[in-house]
A and B are shown apart, each in its own frame.
Chain A
Amino acid sequence: MPVTSLDTLLASSIMICLVLASMASVFAAIQPFLKHQVSHHEVEANLSLAEYLLIEAGMSASWGSNINESLVIFGLANQNSPVPFELNIDKVTRLNEKNIYNLSFLEAFNSLNMKDKPFRIIIKPLFNIAVNLASREENDSAITYRFNILAERSNFPVKAALKCYAVIKDYVVSCSSQTSSLGEGLIEFSLPKSLSGTALLIVFAETEPKMLSYTVHRFSHNSINPPSSEGRYALLSPLNYTLRADLNSSNRILHAMIFTYNYVFNLTETEGDSAIQYFIIPKILDESIMILVGTGLNASSSECFAEWVSYPQIPLDFGLGFTSKYQLADSFSFRFLVTINSAIYECEVILWRS
């Protein structure tokens, strides 16, 4: 074969390879751009749907407070709200699975009328609080507790003003403090030795007006027994400014109280029977979450017990759990700030990418 033919063959082969390689490269480079045109509209559509869930009141508009009204169209907003992203306290509360009036995900999913769009809604305070017992000192009449408080947001410290309440039976003591720029604070209070059993420490932390978080710590006071577990004596479910207590034993709730950042009130019992008690929740104009506490006395051990619930019942995680790697990659997540009863919370809406 002549040398010229060999050269031609070599050059042709190189050119064919180059053309094929360039076709593949151009396709690879253009493909995300072409795909992105579709995904951009997909992001917009999903974002609009996420906003819809938080802006619309749904149908019937009072499906949250009235359990007899059937849910036709899902929406969490307050009816006739003048500002967007203001959620209804009862609609949000009904998303919590611990509430006896909770809405099933299937009901919510069907009422959205989008069969290819499962969703998940997470509502939580803007930051977290952790409580740890630092020391305990006992004298003849009282026990003094010191608790370390840690306020943080995604492991970053948060400076906040603290308002704390310690509750055992009908005895309430309050104290105030603040966390430093490192997010650490210390509180101190005393409880009388005349009482024993499960006590609650309620901690509210406020960084800015309307932006607060809370935690409730259960501890054993003046007793060798560990604190009673949550829901051991009663299951508390607030709705429509009424607290329902489903009793799990013969021990009744003797004292019911409501705590906010600035106020404490006793709740009035309205009706009930041997298994259920009802209390009226006052409408308090405080920019704070409400903590409802029911306390009583265990007849057999003579020790106090305490149960609590927040209203709105937050934090909550409602909907399908997109847990596996594949599902996480194929879903859209949008973060909003929402207002419930004048306080601001963080709401994440996760939508399945159909």
Chain B
Amino acid sequence: MKILMNKKGQVRTLEALLAVAVVFAALLLTRPIYVSYDNLGDYDVLYTMGLNVLVQLDRDGDLGRLISERNWAEIADRLSIMLPLGVSFNLTVYDEESNILNDRPVSGGAINSKCVVSIQYILVDRSNLRFYVIRLQLAWMK
């Protein structure tokens, strides 16, 4: 009966439980910071890869010509062979007034990764001197 009535021990056990809660709360708070910085290296690599692919695609004015012809299937085919396997993509083409030109998705794979990179590329079609803004989104496939 004496042991049960001793409140001091119970309070200290309560303190210990509170300490556990504080420590785990601290751990939970640090986790999101760690995750958000986790893939910075991947961002750099994906960005460089995307820019490199767009530069190659635009060589000799091919990309501008394909956009003028609205040949979205050809652009998607070229991107899928140029990008490494395991990288999904989605390409959007805008005109001077920021209207989307591609009436169908120019994509390969699903962009549902945590690490998605968006590359903006500006080009002028040499045949008709039209100006386009291209946005290429890349992500590692899960």
Instruction: Identify the A interface with B (CB < 8 A).
Output: 3-4, 6-8, 10-11, 14-15, 18-19, 21-22, 25-26, 29-30, 32-33, 36-37, 39-40, 43-44, 47, 51, 83-85, 126-127, 153-154, 156, 158, 207-211, 334-337, 339, 344
Rounded to whole Å, the gap between the CB of B76 and the closest CB of chain A is 11
Q: Give the residues in chain A near B53, CB-CB below 8 Å.
A: 337
Q: Kindly identify which residue among B2, B9, B77 contacts A11, using a CB–CB cutoff of 8 Å.
A: B9
Instruction: Identify the B interface with A (CB < 8 A).
Output: 2-3, 6, 8-9, 12-13, 15-16, 19-20, 23, 26-27, 30-31, 33-34, 37-38, 40-41, 44-45, 48-49, 52-53, 55-56, 59, 62, 74, 77-78, 81-82, 84-85
B82 touches A126 (CB 8 A): yes
B8 touches A153 (CB 8 A): no
Query: Please, how many angstroms separate the alpha-carbon atoms of A208 and B60 in the complex?
Result: 14
30 contacting pairs across A/B (C-beta < 8 A): A3-B6, A4-B9, A6-B9, A8-B9, A11-B12, A11-B13, A11-B15, A11-B16, A15-B16, A22-B27, A29-B31, A29-B34, A30-B30, A32-B34, A32-B38, A33-B34, A40-B37, A43-B41, A43-B45, A44-B44, A47-B45, A47-B48, A85-B55, A126-B82, A156-B85, A207-B81, A208-B81, A211-B82, A336-B48, A337-B82
Known: A3-B3, A14-B16, A153-B81. 6 other contacts (CB 8 A): A7-B6, A22-B27, A39-B41, A85-B52, A154-B85, A208-B74
Query: Please, how many angstroms separate the alpha-carbon atoms of A84 and B58 in the complex?
Result: 11
Q: Give the residues in chain B near A47, CB-CB below 8 Å.
A: 44-45, 48
Query: Please, how many angstroms separate the alpha-carbon atoms of A153 and B86 in the complex?
Result: 12
B33 touches A158 (CB 8 A): no
A337 touches B81 (CB 8 A): no
Q: Give the residues in chain B near A211, CB-CB below 8 Å.
A: 78, 81-82
Q: Give the residues in chain A near B20, CB-CB below 8 Å.
A: 18
B85 touches A334 (CB 8 A): no
A36 touches B40 (CB 8 A): yes
Q: Which residue of the partner chain B has the closest CB to A207?
A: B81
Q: Give the residues in chain B near A334, CB-CB below 8 Å.
A: 45, 48
Q: A14-B16, A25-B27, A44-B44 are in contact. Are A208 and B77 (CB under 8 A)?
A: yes
Number of A-B residue pairs having CB atoms within 8 Å of each other in the complex: 113
Rounded to whole Å, the gap between the CB of B92 and the closest CB of chain A is 21
Q: Give the residues in chain B near A25, CB-CB below 8 Å.
A: 23, 27
Rounded to whole Å, the gap between the CB of B131 and the closest CB of chain A is 19
Query: Please, how many angstroms separate the alpha-carbon atoms of A33 and B36 in the complex?
Result: 9
Query: Please, how many angstroms separate the alpha-carbon atoms of A211 and B79 in the complex?
Result: 11
Query: Please, how many angstroms separate the alpha-carbon atoms of A243 and B96 in the complex?
Result: 50
Rounded to whole Å, the gap between the CB of A198 and the closest CB of chain B is 34
Rounded to whole Å, the gap between the CB of A275 and the closest CB of chain B is 42
B8 touches A335 (CB 8 A): no
Q: Give the residues in chain B near A154, CB-CB below 8 Å.
A: 85
Q: Which residue of the partner chain A has the closest CB to B30?
A: A29
A83 touches B9 (CB 8 A): no
Query: Please, how many angstroms separate the alpha-carbon atoms of A211 and B80 in the complex?
Result: 12
Q: Give the residues in chain A near B62, CB-CB below 8 Å.
A: 209
B40 touches A26 (CB 8 A): no
Q: A156-B85, A336-B52 are in contact. Are A7 and B37 (CB under 8 A)?
A: no
Query: Please, how many angstroms separate the alpha-carbon atoms of A37 and B33 in the complex?
Result: 12
B77 touches A26 (CB 8 A): no
Query: Please, how many angstroms separate the alpha-carbon atoms of A341 and B21 in the complex?
Result: 65
Q: Give the residues in chain B near A43, CB-CB below 8 Å.
A: 40-41, 44-45
Query: Please, how many angstroms separate the alpha-carbon atoms of A176 and B110 in the complex?
Result: 36
Rounded to whole Å, the gap between the CB of A288 and the closest CB of chain B is 15
A36 touches B81 (CB 8 A): no
A344 touches B82 (CB 8 A): yes
B9 touches A3 (CB 8 A): yes
Q: Kindly identify which residue among B8, B27, B38, B78 contacts A208, using a CB–CB cutoff of 8 Å.
A: B78
Query: Please, how many angstroms separate the alpha-carbon atoms of A33 and B29 in the complex?
Result: 14
Rounded to whole Å, the gap between the CB of A258 and the closest CB of chain B is 23
